[in-house]
Structure 1
Amino acid sequence: MSCSNCCHSTPVHISSEYRKALWIAFGLNFAMFFVEILISITSRSTSLLSDSLDFFGDSANYLISLYVLPMALIHRAKASLVKGVTMGGFGMFILFTTIYRWFYGEIPHYSQMSIVGSLALLTNLVAMWVLYRFREGDSNMRGVWLCTRNDAMGNLVVILAGVVVYFTQSKYPDLVVAFILSFLAIQASKAIILQALGELK
């Protein structure tokens, strides 16, 4: 039997606890996705749009992680590849959307940006709290943690962007934050894919 099928498997008691943490994180993220996608449309905020896609991507990632949790490492690594490519796709979508809105976008509503950003930050802090003890592990577990951590970082800069938009009455702080979020997504995607490829060797 190959090592990929027998080694580095998640202990039963950790699997049970990790499963509960994933379900909590999934519920929080899926609910927040609907809130942010609606507000990003009414507020015309690209950074909120980016953050809403992060929440949707994280929700899908949590479900994938729940599905492959009892499987061998090779299957979890393959799932990580899917998650890494998806995360990179979201990052590229936001990058091109931001470039477009740099030339044709409007000034977003700063109050909605800051209020929803604060709610999103609280959501991700709770998710980080339940997932913190599982931040180290295979590429699948690491990918879950990186997604959650990046979202919390993104929420902070969205809130800051809302404040800067208020004082400057400019669309550019929102777009700069969107650039940062797309960069974080692409970087995390690269890290997850490289670790998953290493586990598949």
Structure 2
Amino acid sequence: EAAVGLWTGSLALLSDAGHMLGDVAALLLAFAVAGLTRRPATPTRTFGLARAEALGAFVNGAALLVICGVIFREAIGRLLGGPPDVPGWPVLWVGLIGLLINLGSAWALWRSASSDLNVRGALAHMLADALGSLGAMVSAGLVLGFGWQAADPIVALLIGALVLWGAVHVVLAASRVLLDFAPAGLSADRVEQTLLAVEGVGAAHDVHVWGHGGRVMVTAHLVPATGVRAVEVLHRAQAQLREAGVGHSTLQVEPADGCPQPGCPFADCGSEAPDHEHDHGHGHDHPHAH
């Protein structure tokens, strides 16, 4: 498509080629990143490289935004300055070939595993590519049937809008992961309410929620109700979070009024204690779960 688009001057074909180039780049990035995300964590990369997937998606989305800018600038320039003559038949045949390839790929994906989320996402990309190829065919038909050369840049604008929609979606989704946003449909307030509903939890604060490598991560401080052992609260809260779909939680259980022992250096351990159990000459439950 790119070769014939350059030869004929068809911006519609070039736009569709840019659209499919973005999808191919996304697949190649996903393939390359898959190996990185499987690498184990190290003392200096304690979370591993799971976010390489989001970083790759962000780069791909940003590249698509640049492609959109080029398409829009060229298409608007042609509409304002007069579109060049584009031969219709080469554009029509190449668009038809692209349409058949995309529809065949979409059909193969649908047959293989239509219920898999990743496959369904790839299927949506293939159908969008097929729509772009169909648009190129429509522009060629208008040129052949009516001599309307403006159809080519207009269709290019429509394809560019389709690419822009996908690029913005990818950039926003990747940014949510890279900036430690809570996963879609989840918030710290919702997690806090889930923790407060646990039997024996008197209070919850410092709740943080983010996504990492496809898992929901939660950290929180809990204060048990009067007369409730900290370890009981801990186990119940962990079980409740697992049922809510949290993949990893780090919970710190604090005494309601600090350590009752006079002179205890950890009297304010609710906000200053390190994230591990400590022993300073007298006992009280203060577990931290990872």
State the partner residue of 1:78.
55
Deviation at 1:60, TM superposition (A): 2.2
Q: What residue identity is the alignment partner of 2:148?
A: S
Shift of 1:175: 1.2
Judge conservation of contact 2:15–2:71 (CA < 8 Å) in 1: yes
Residue pair 1:146, 1:188 contacting (<8 A) in 2 also: no
SS at match of 2:84: coil
Aligned to 1:19: none
Q: Deviations over 1:167-191 (max 9, x none)?
A: 2102111111100011111111111
Q: Map 1:151-190 onto structure 2 (within 5 A).
A: 151-190=129-168
Q: Given the two structures, how large is their TM-score scaled by the length of structure 2?
A: 0.51
Q: Which runs of 5+ in 2 are unaligned?
A: 38-48, 181-290
Contact 1:91 1:181 in 2 (8 A): no
AA at the equivalent of 2:67: F
Determine the structure 2 residue equivalent to 1:58: 23
More strand by share: 2
**Is the Cα–Cα contact under 8 Å of residues 16 and 132 in structure 2 kept in the other structure?**
yes
1:92 is aligned to 2:92: no
- In the TM superposition, what is the alpha-carbon distance from 1:104 to its structure 2 partner? 3.9
Aligned residue in 1 for 2:32: 67
Root-mean-square deviation (CA, aligned residues, Å) is 2.3
* Structure 1 SS opposite 2:51: helix
Q: TM-score, normalised by structure 1?
A: 0.72
The 1:191/1:146 distance shift into structure 2, 3 A limit, reads: farther
Amino acid corresponding to residue 63 of structure 1 in structure 2:
L
Aligned length: 163
Counterpart code for 1:108: V
Percent of aligned pairs sharing the same letter:
23
Partner secondary structure for residue 63 of structure 1 = helix
Question: Conserved in 1, the CA contact under 8 Å of 2:91 and 2:137?
Answer: yes
Deviation sequence 1:141-182 (CA, Å, 0-9, x none): 94x555433211111111111111112102111111100011
- The answer to whether the 8 A contact 2:83-2:150 is kept is no
Q: Which has the larger radius of gyration?
A: 2
